[in-house]
Amino acid sequence: MLSHAGLMKTEQIDPSELDAYDAWVAEHLDEMVRQHPGKVIAVYQGRLIAVADSYREAFEAAKAQGIAGEPFTMRVPTGDEANAVFPSVFPARGA
């Protein structure tokens, strides 16, 4: 029997840090969809630190600000994408 335990990455993000990023996204998603649709954002310690066209640019912007840790990054959905996932929160345009 093969064990995959030895193949698992041992350095993982702290669950409380994930919870904090989840809360940040829940609080700011509407604003991000309106202001930065389709862009990649970087968040670090509860603060938006970069808005970029690619993940690489977001990480480079974080590094340029002296951010030592790994920021949370995500591509912000467009209004239409957000509506497809959350239609009651993001109504279709013209509705």
Q: Does any domain span residue 90?
A: no
Q: Does any domain span residue 91?
A: no
Question: pTM of the prediction?
Answer: 0.77
Q: Does any domain span residue 5?
A: no
pLDDT digits (tens, 9 = 90+) for 55-91: 999 999 999 999 988 899 999 999 889 888 877 666 6
Give me the domain span that covers residue 62: 15-85
Q: Does any domain span residue 93?
A: no
Q: Which amino acid is at 84?
A: A
**If 0-12 CB within 10 Å is exposed, 13-18 middle and 19+ buried, where does residue 42 land?**
buried
How many structural domains compose the chain? 1
- Categorize the per-residue pLDDT at 9 as very low, low, confident or very high, splitting at 50, 70 and 90: low
Q: Does any domain span residue 58?
A: yes
First to last CA, the chain: 57
Least confident of 11-15, 31-35, 47-51, 82-86: 11-15
Q: Which residue has the tokens 């970029």?
A: 52
Selected residue with higher pLDDT from 12 and 45: 45
Q: Does any domain span residue 62?
A: yes
